[in-house]
Amino acid sequence: MKFVLFPLDPVHDVALKMLNRELLKRGHQTILLPPDTKMEEVVELCQKENPDFIMVSRTVGYGAAELLARFIDMLDAAGLRKKCKVVVGGKAITKELAAELGYDAGFGDRTNWEEVIAFVEGREVQESKSRIVKTKRDITHGYSYRVHDSAFKDLLEKITDQIIDWARDRTSPGIERAKMREKMLQGEDLLEDYLKLCDDTVVSYFKKNTLPRKVRLITEEEKKKFDRLVRETRFDEKILRHSLDRPLVFVQYGTGCPFMDAMHIKVSEAWGADGVLHFDPSWGARCEGLLEGLLAHEEDGSIITFENLKLIKSALNDSTLWCVRAHRGLNTPETVLLAAYAKADLTKINMVYGSLNGGTDPERLTVDGVYAIKLAARYNLPYDIPTNEELGGVPAHKAFAGMLVVAYLGVKLNAKPILKPLFCYSPDVMINDYMKDNYIDYNAAKVIALRRIIDAPIWPGEPIGFMTHTEDRVQSAMTTALHAALASSLGLDAITIASTDEAYARGAITVSARIDTLRAIAEAFRFFGQAKIEPTKQAEEFAERIVEGVYETLKKVAEREDFVASMYEGLFGTREEGANPGRAGRGTVRKC
Amino acid sequence: MLSIGVLGTAKNTGKTTTVNALLKCLAGKSLAITSIGFDGEDLDHITGLPKPKVVVEEGTVVATSEQAAKHSTAKLQLLRKLNITTAFGPICLYKVRQSGTVVLVGPNNSEDLLMLKDVLKSEQTEIFLVDGAINRVVPFQHVEFVILALGASRSTSIDVLLTEARVIVKALRLPLSEDDRNVIEGLVSQDKMKSLRNERISVESPMHLLLAEDLADLERSLDELDIAVLRRPELICVTINPYYPARRMEGFVLDHMDLTELSRTIEQELNVPCLDVMKEEERLCRILEEKIRGLK
């Protein structure tokens, strides 16, 4: 077929040149005119050449429509209108505008070549074909969990054997509640017994209808409105990663209100997020027992109740991965159980971080953690292990030693752990001046080190760039995007991101701030694509030091022959380094 | 069958408002309606401002595409499918069974409009209304009457609007051609016209001339040359729309300017009735009635 390509524009003709390339590739004959050709000349040329198609491009501003209409009228007056098809393309061109202008077809900004080619070659344009269909991914797929070095393996074996052995004849109110909760979820009425193991806040809620401070019940009417809103909210799916296969992008939510959370989730999904993390309030972690019902509260993090979780689940897209955090508090096993029953995809457990930075007693959280990992294994919930103790200043190698113990314990108990090193300018880095002239080397070193030790999925947390962020929204989106690019460059499996106002949000996190970050990441992924960020040689040196440090730490813990005591005694980080053994639940572990 | 086209000089000059007024004036007659583009959408495709909708009464024949018909609130009964294609699929003929709004996507070129006219003759249509699109004029070479919709959206300069009106009126009043003229088919460029200074020429229609880039230049040619046309519609009246989309920080907003002086000048100097249909609908109806009576 024969085409005349006419840029009806004083300057721009890039799109037409690209179209010309595609048409030539398919064996069509084309005449590509330069920009700023007079319409009269084009009409004359078309009279001579008799093309099958005249393809006109034009950026639409006010006045352009009149120009396009005049051109079509000129073709009509010249008797060409029925002899050739006339197609208009350009930013802001829509099918409706093309019809209004009297063109045979119009293609706008997000058109792909296939659509235009299909149209001119007379094939049915498959609009639905270009729609993205997302599916859920298993982050742990393809990993062997093999420990590469037998020296490391021996140490991890020894430590985890000791933990399992130690935990065998111990229990806690948290574990007992989880056992009861499981029966309650299956229909048994055990509330009286359950409340015997709960703090006053929970007991008075159930017995006297007293709500904890700043908490309120969500009404039935509000719930109905919400259900309708979720039903009516539909977005076209987007993928953030351009040509990349990984990392999956997770967004953490926890506004205090499950409705607001759901809307944040819908917006994040619409802008391409692959997964979301349920962020619980920290006071919930220090209270024995969980509340029930649809509850909202005024502070950071959303209350863990089965009803709240089910409501969030109802709002999620089928493809969205959902992680419910259970890693640090007195309700760890019960939270994993609720996550499983609410059909979460992932959970989060790390008793070292939870004990040394989360405020829970090491002995208590170890007993609860072992049971929680067993539940995660039983319900097939992979769990990620954040090393956020680094945020207190604990050196990476000590935080990693704890993480590797929790990971290896999981492997032994048939669960699927995910390693979660911190990706930011952490206190450890600042104190030791590790990243002097770039923010890449030490973060890259962490990944190199972990990969030397074990074959496991890596999902840097949490969120990436945290502590590198300032109160400036552009800076915050930019650092997140760069850390995301580093993660993709290193072939990592997933990342968690914050919103641009998270570093300074003095109220609820805004939806526009979430979009900022997601857009910034999409642009970073597009910018780098399959290209890579290259760390300096320093990264290798750091990695070696981290591997050595992890080994030294594990060795000391193995020699101590008591995991719990190792935490109290500072083997996973001293008080000076910022690791403070928590007190919540102290003295509640008993032999059984 | 009498065909009446409403042509504008730009977007938002008041074509749809005029068409709606015509539909009211002609209620009770056997009517058919179409558009040479796309009309009846909720919002303007460029400015995003709300637009008037075309309202049709029971019994009216509507020529629009199947896809567009689905977006109409009027109840439409399919009469038949026509061999005329558009960006929104083939055109069909519908009969309005219950009045309401209609989205019009019609034949977008002269030949197709002519074909539709032929089809409608067999439907015993008395009056066929053709809504214009943007500033398109050429398909109107095939209608008997036109109404010219002028508006501030074309320009906020009275001088510009007046010059444009004057040239269009002059072109529409060119004499019909006798046999002995040198006929120029198709598009007539300014260069070509200038080269024919001393000849008695004839062009296909005034619309073929109105595509000139520079209307002042065209006016000089119309004054100086001996031009006739093979066919042309008769101008019934001019309508004016003082409202226009003005660009502001927050996007387009509706603004307006006083066009009474323009209106008076058009009536006095060009000797054409000129009216604001929002205020003078009855006068439009009277003009139309006289015109139709005069033909009988």
Q: Summarize pLDDT for B250-259 with one digit per residue, the tens.
A: 778 888 899 9
Least confident of A111-115, A172-176, A557-561, B202-206: A111-115
Check A74 against B85: CB less than 8 A apart.
no
- Quick one: pLDDT at residue A244? 87
Cis peptide before A462, with omega less than 30 degrees from 0? yes
Residue pointed to by tokens 């010219």: B148
Confidence of residue A92 (pLDDT cuts 50, 70, 90): confident
The region that residue B134 occupies, defined by phi over 0 for left and psi between -120 and 50 for alpha, beta otherwise, is: left
Over residues A192-244, the pLDDT tens digits come to 999 999 999 999 999 999 999 999 999 999 999 998 888 887 777 788 988 88
Confidence of residue A370 (pLDDT cuts 50, 70, 90): very high
Confidence of residue A57 (pLDDT cuts 50, 70, 90): very high
- Quick one: pLDDT at residue A507? 66
- Quick one: pLDDT at residue A466? 86
Confidence of residue B50 (pLDDT cuts 50, 70, 90): confident
pLDDT at A129 > cutoff 60: no
Check A97 against B45: CB less than 8 A apart.
yes
For residue A82, the distance in angstroms to the closest alpha carbon of chain B comes to 8
Q: How many CB pairs under 8 A join A and B?
A: 97
Asked whether B16 and B43 are in contact (CB, 8 A), the reply is: no
Confidence of residue A125 (pLDDT cuts 50, 70, 90): low
A40: closest chain B residue by CA: B189
Cis peptide before A247, with omega less than 30 degrees from 0? yes
Check B208 against A77: CB less than 8 A apart.
yes
B206: closest chain A residue by CA: A77
- The share of chain A scoring above pLDDT 70, in percent, equals 97
Check B37 against A66: CB less than 8 A apart.
no
Check A102 against B88: CB less than 8 A apart.
no
pTM of this structure: 0.76
- Quick one: pLDDT at residue A232? 80
- Quick one: pLDDT at residue A347? 97
Residues of B in contact with A82 (CB under 8 A): 109, 111-112
Distant-in-sequence, close-in-space partners of B127: CB < 8 Å, separation ≥ 6: B1, B2, B3, B4, B26, B29, B30, B31, B32, B292
Residues of A in contact with B206 (CB under 8 A): none
Residues of B in contact with A36 (CB under 8 A): none
Over residues A276-335, the pLDDT tens digits come to 999 999 888 899 999 999 999 988 899 999 999 999 999 999 999 999 999 889 999 999
pLDDT at A505 > cutoff 70: no
Dist. CA A28–CA A15, nearest whole Å: 17
Q: In this complex, which of B134, B137, B138 lies closest to A100 when CB atoms are compared?
A: B134
Asked whether B11 and B105 are in contact (CB, 8 A), the reply is: no
Distant-in-sequence, close-in-space partners of A220: CB < 8 Å, separation ≥ 6: none
Q: Which amino acid is at A545?
A: R
Confidence of residue A568 (pLDDT cuts 50, 70, 90): very high
State the average pLDDT for chain B: 91
Over residues B258-278, the pLDDT tens digits come to 999 999 999 999 999 999 999
B184: closest chain A residue by CA: A78
If DSSP codes are grouped into helix, strand and coil, which group holds residue A344? coil
- Average pLDDT of A109-137? 78
Distant-in-sequence, close-in-space partners of B267: CB < 8 Å, separation ≥ 6: B273, B274
For residue B190, the distance in angstroms to the closest alpha carbon of chain A comes to 10
As a 3-state breakdown, chain A gives helix, strand, coil percent values, each rounded to 5, of: 45, 10, 40
- Quick one: pLDDT at residue A126? 64
A95: closest chain B residue by CA: B87
* Residues of B at the A interface, defined by Cβ within 8 angstroms: 10-11, 36-39, 41, 45-47, 85-88, 105, 108-112, 133-139, 185-187, 189, 204, 207-208, 211, 213, 245, 247
Mutate to test the interface with A, among B109, B116, B131, B218 (most CBs of A within 10 A): B109
**β-strands B2-8, B61-65: how paired?**
unpaired
Judge residue B77's burial from the number of C-beta atoms within 10 Å of its C-beta, 0-12 exposed, 13-18 middle, 19 or more buried: exposed
Distant-in-sequence, close-in-space partners of B196: CB < 8 Å, separation ≥ 6: B182, B184, B225
- Quick one: pLDDT at residue A62? 63
pLDDT at B42 > cutoff 80: no
Residues of A in contact with B245 (CB under 8 A): 62
Over residues A247-265, the pLDDT tens digits come to 999 999 998 999 999 999 9
Dist. CA A218–CA A203, nearest whole Å: 20
